[in-house]
């Protein structure tokens, strides 16, 4: 193989290479077929850039990927043009999410510098090696269940100079979780369960992340202890459905609430949150844990998705509106100061105006503290794809807007009811304006107030004076002043 240094691209070497075909096994064999076309040959990258699309699960995967790359000696640079290695950690949840990533990948092929380019995440799982056909400048594709194999995949790209993909259907537990690179030093995500077994008919997640695999409690506790030792004040336990924790491993005899009790006992543990909860799996034991465990915050994000029983059934959400409302009633009885969050899809196939109004009524009655509303987007490979996407876009947009308007007024009413009262706020960082400090109450309300930088990472008592949209604006009450009162 003729190899010579390229002056134009200092991190790569030019030469003749193999057939460029893709494969999905990791085996370190040199290319068998040498063809006569010339491409760049990569050297070990020194710098990387990573962009994340999608949910908190993907954000955490990005941090795990970063941890591995930095362990290998690569340095992050916030410079997409010049980094040697570019990674796009992708999302597939809606068509718009995929189109954003596809647009980005297309652009990269037109750039001047020849980087090593990899796609990871949910779209990598959904599209696998077909991405190589569409984007010949891609070097590797790594699925959600293989993020800890990234180093081996990179080795293979460097050694064989061929496109490589690894997209296993199932996640194998391993300890590389512990090398996540956190982008924050006050709060951190900790994965407790990967995948989802619920198979809602509209959702790609069970296909892009595979079935549920709980992480051993010992490993979770160890990571939480390390975070506490490093001064972290808040941990968010992550999973597509955290309430399923332990159900796939009955021999562990440790369900979600059992895990919470163990985490709460860690000396020095600050706040604990969790995301996301499937309404069916929210148990009375969990509600009691929220009431009784000092670390556990009084906020539960448990999406209703729709307020009509016919639509809920068609979505395969496995609860009725009445059962959902019963859970809300039980939760608010056991934890009276609890705040709730939801996700809702409008314009699901065949949803009538009357059925949408049931959803609207549910949002009106439950008074969520925060709501994320989406218009239905058909996803390839899901059961709902069989049904005609029959609600016109304008109708979906109209329903979405009505929900947004309703939620905006509920949000204002809830914030208004907090004015004049004092809440405990964990100070996370400076607000975007760089002047006010930003933090959250236990019930996940965003608060900004004036104060010095050294309050970051501490708990402060803040009196709420006003609000703008979802953000409360407050003033810090000094501890000594509180004592005198
Ligand atoms: N595991 C979480 C949600 C993960 S996806 C849960 O079950 O609550 C985040 C949200 O995206 C979902 O709650 C749903 O509201 C929305 N979503 C998922 N698939 C969608 C689709 N095909 N079209 C529109 N919204 C969708
Ligand atoms: Fe998707 Fe439903 Fe699983 Fe949530 S519970 S990730 S919406 S399949
Ligand atoms: Fe998107 Fe995958 Fe999360 S599809 S929403 S990144 S689980």
Ligand 1 atom showing the smallest separation from residue 302 Cα: 8
Q: Pick the range with the lowest mean pLDDT from 33-47, 69-83, 149-163, 326-340.
A: 33-47
Query: Does a structural domain hold residue 12?
Result: no
Q: Pick the range with the lowest mean pLDDT from 4-8, 144-148, 199-203.
A: 4-8
Query: Does a structural domain hold residue 424?
Result: yes
Distance CA 88, CA 62 (A): 9
Ligand 3 neighbour 90 (Cβ under 6 A) = no
pLDDT at residue 3 tops 50: no
Question: Which of 166, 188, 205 is a domain's end point?
Answer: 166
Peptide bond into 233 cis (omega under 30): no
Phi, psi (deg, nearest 5) at residue 195? 80, 180
389 and 309, same structural domain?
yes
We report the CATH number of the domain holding residue 189 as 3.80.30.20
Residue 197: the pLDDT is 94
Query: Does a structural domain hold residue 335?
Result: yes
We report the CATH number of the domain holding residue 112 as 3.40.50.12160
201 and 160, same structural domain?
no
DSSP for residue 45: P
Distance CA 296, CA 277 (A): 15
Query: Does a structural domain hold residue 38?
Result: no
We report the CATH number of the domain holding residue 461 as 2.40.50.140
pLDDT at residue 257 tops 50: yes
pLDDT in tens, 347-383: 999 999 999 999 999 999 999 999 999 999 999 999 9
Tokens of 95: 């068509």
CA of 249 to the centre of ligand 2 (A): 20
For 320, the enclosing helix (H) or strand (E) is none
Distance CA 290, CA 331 (A): 9
Query: Does a structural domain hold residue 33?
Result: no
Phi, psi (deg, nearest 5) at residue 93? -65, -40
Distance CA 354, CA 364 (A): 15
pLDDT at residue 21 tops 60: no
Q: 248: buried, middle or exposed (CB in 10 Å: 19+, 13-18, 0-12)?
A: middle
CA of 355 to the centre of ligand 2 (A): 21
Residue 180: the pLDDT is 87
Phi, psi (deg, nearest 5) at residue 149? -95, 5
Dihedral class, residue 188 (left if φ above 0, else alpha if ψ from -120 to 50, else beta) = beta
| Mean pLDDT, residues 123-141 | 93
pLDDT at residue 15 tops 80: no
197 and 108, same structural domain?
no
Which residues touch 236 (CB under 8 Å, ≥6 apart)? 56, 187, 188, 189, 190, 272, 273, 274, 275
pLDDT at residue 231 tops 90: yes
For 76, the enclosing helix (H) or strand (E) is strand 75-76
200 and 139, same structural domain?
no
Residue 35: the pLDDT is 29
| Mean pLDDT, residues 182-200 | 92
Q: What is the mean pLDDT of the chain?
A: 88
Ligand 3 neighbour 338 (Cβ under 6 A) = no
Q: Which residues of 19-31 are buried (b: 16+ CB within 10 A; e: fewer)?
A: eeebeeeeeeeeb
377 and 232, same structural domain?
yes
Helix, coil or strand: residue 373: strand
Ligand 3 neighbour 194 (Cβ under 6 A) = no
CA atoms in the 13 A half-sphere facing the CB of 112: 5
| Mean pLDDT, residues 18-39 | 35
Give DSSP secondary structure letters for 6-29. Answer: -SSSTTEEEEE------B-S----
Give pTM, 2 decimals.
Answer: 0.89
Ligand 3 neighbour 143 (Cβ under 6 A) = no
342 and 241, same structural domain?
yes
Helices (H), 85-165: 95-108, 122-127, 130-134, 150-160
Residue 479: the pLDDT is 65
Residue 43: the pLDDT is 85
Q: Where are the beta strands (DSSP E) in 162-245?
A: 164-166, 187-191, 193-194, 213-214, 234-238
282 and 334, same structural domain?
yes
Residue 427: the pLDDT is 97
Number of domains in the chain: 3
**Using CA atoms in the order 108, 111, 112, 116, what is the torsion angle rounded to 10 degrees?**
-10
Q: What is the pLDDT confidence band of residue 175, given thresholds at 50, 70 and 90?
A: low
Q: What is the pLDDT confidence band of residue 17, given thresholds at 50, 70 and 90?
A: very low
For 229, the enclosing helix (H) or strand (E) is helix 217-229
Distance, C-alpha 292 to centroid of its chain: 27
Q: Among 342, 247, 245, which residue's Cα sits nearest to residue 303?
A: 342
Residue 112: the pLDDT is 67
Helix, coil or strand: residue 430: strand
Q: Pick the range with the lowest mean pLDDT from 27-31, 124-128, 216-220.
A: 27-31
Q: Which residues line ligand 2 (CB under 6 A)?
A: 196, 198-200, 203, 205-206, 240-241, 278
Q: What is the pLDDT confidence band of residue 172, given thresholds at 50, 70 and 90?
A: confident
269 and 251, same structural domain?
yes
Residue 1: the pLDDT is 33
| Mean pLDDT, residues 179-198 | 91
pLDDT at residue 36 tops 50: no
Ligand 1 atom showing the smallest separation from residue 196 Cα: 1
CA of 52 to the centre of ligand 3 (A): 10
CA of 240 to the centre of ligand 2 (A): 7
| Mean pLDDT, residues 42-68 | 93
Residue 170: the pLDDT is 80
Q: What is the pLDDT confidence band of residue 42, given thresholds at 50, 70 and 90?
A: confident
pLDDT in tens, 266-305: 999 999 999 999 999 999 999 999 999 999 999 999 999 9
365 and 267, same structural domain?
yes
CA of 168 to the centre of ligand 3 (A): 17
195 and 144, same structural domain?
no
Q: Among 408, 357, 356, 399, which residue's Cα sits nearest to residue 375?
A: 399
Ligand 3 atom showing the smallest separation from residue 90 Cα: 6
* Residues comprising the chain, all counted: 485
pLDDT in tens, 335-355: 999 999 999 999 999 999 999
Which structural domain range is residue 67 located in?
A: 44-166
433 and 343, same structural domain?
no
Ligand 1 neighbour 94 (Cβ under 6 A) = yes
Residue 169: the pLDDT is 84
Residue 179: the pLDDT is 81
Q: What is the pLDDT confidence band of residue 114, given thresholds at 50, 70 and 90?
A: confident
Residue 244: the pLDDT is 95
Q: Which residues pair with 422 in a beta bridge?
A: 463
Residue 40: the pLDDT is 57
CB 155 within 8 A of CB 28: yes
Distance separating the N- and C-terminal Cα atoms of the chain: 81
Residue 190: the pLDDT is 95
110 and 245, same structural domain?
no
Nearest CA to ligand 3 atom 1: 91
Question: Which of 393, 417, 441 is a domain's end point?
Answer: 417
Phi, psi (deg, nearest 5) at residue 473? -115, 125
Distance CA 445, CA 447 (A): 6
């Amino acid at each position: 193989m003729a190899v010579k240094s390229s002056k134009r691209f200092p991190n790569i070497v030019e030469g003749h290479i193999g057939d460029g075909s893709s494969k999905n096994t990791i085996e370190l064999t040199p290319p068998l077929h040498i063809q006569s076309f010339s491409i760049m040959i990569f050297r070990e990258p020194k710098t990387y850039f990573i962009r994340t699309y999608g949910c908190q699960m993907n954000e955490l995967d990005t941090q795990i990927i970063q941890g591995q790359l930095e362990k290998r000696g690569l340095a992050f640079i916030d410079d997409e043009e010049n980094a040697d290695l570019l990674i796009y950690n992708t999302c597939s949840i809606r068509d718009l999410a995929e189109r954003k990533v596809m647009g980005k990948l297309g652009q990269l092929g037109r750039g001047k510098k020849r980087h090593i380019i990899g796609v990871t995440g949910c779209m990598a799982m959904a599209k696998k090696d077909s991405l190589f056909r569409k984007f010949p400048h891609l070097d590797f594709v790594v699925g959600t269940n293989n993020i800890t194999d990234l180093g081996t995949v990179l080795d293979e790209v460097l050694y064989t100079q061929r496109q490589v993909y690894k997209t296993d259907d199932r996640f194998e537990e391993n300890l590389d979780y512990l090398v996540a690179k956190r982008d924050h030093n006050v709060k951190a995500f900790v994965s407790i369960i990967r995948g989802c077994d619920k198979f809602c008919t509209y959702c790609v997640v069970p296909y892009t992340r595979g079935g549920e695999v709980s992480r051993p409690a010992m490993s979770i506790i160890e990571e939480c202890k390390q975070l506490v030792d490093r001064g972290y004040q808040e941990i968010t336990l992550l999973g597509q459905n955290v309430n399923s924790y332990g159900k796939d491993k009955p021999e562990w005899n440790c369900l979600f609430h059992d895990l919470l009790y163990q985490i709460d006992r860690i000396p020095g543990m600050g706040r604990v949150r969790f995301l996301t909860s499937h309404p069916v799996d929210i148990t009375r034991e969990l509600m009691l844990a929220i009431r009784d465990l000092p670390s556990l915050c009084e906020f539960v994000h448990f999406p209703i998705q729709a307020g009509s029983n016919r639509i809920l059934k068609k979505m395969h959400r496995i609860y009725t509106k009445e059962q959902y409302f019963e859970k809300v009633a039980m939760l608010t009885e056991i934890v009276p100061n609890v705040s709730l969050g939801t996700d809702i899809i409008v314009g699901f196939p065949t949803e009538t105006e009357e059925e949408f109004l049931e959803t609207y009524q549910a949002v009106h009655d439950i008074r969520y503290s925060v709501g994320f509303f989406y218009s239905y987007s058909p996803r390839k490979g899901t059961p709902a794809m069989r049904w005609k996407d029959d609600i016109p876009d304008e109708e979906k947009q109209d329903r979405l807007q009505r929900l947004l308007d309703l939620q905006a007024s509920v949000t204002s009413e809830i914030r208004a009811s907090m004015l004049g009262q004092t809440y405990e706020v964990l100070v996370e960082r400076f607000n975007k304006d760089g002047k006010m400090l930003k933090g959250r109450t236990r019930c996940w309300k965003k608060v900004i107030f004036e104060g010095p930088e050294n309050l970051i990472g501490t708990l402060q008592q803040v009196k709420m004076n006003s609000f703008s949209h979802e953000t409360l604006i407050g003033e810090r009450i000094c501890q000594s002043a509180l004592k005198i009162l």
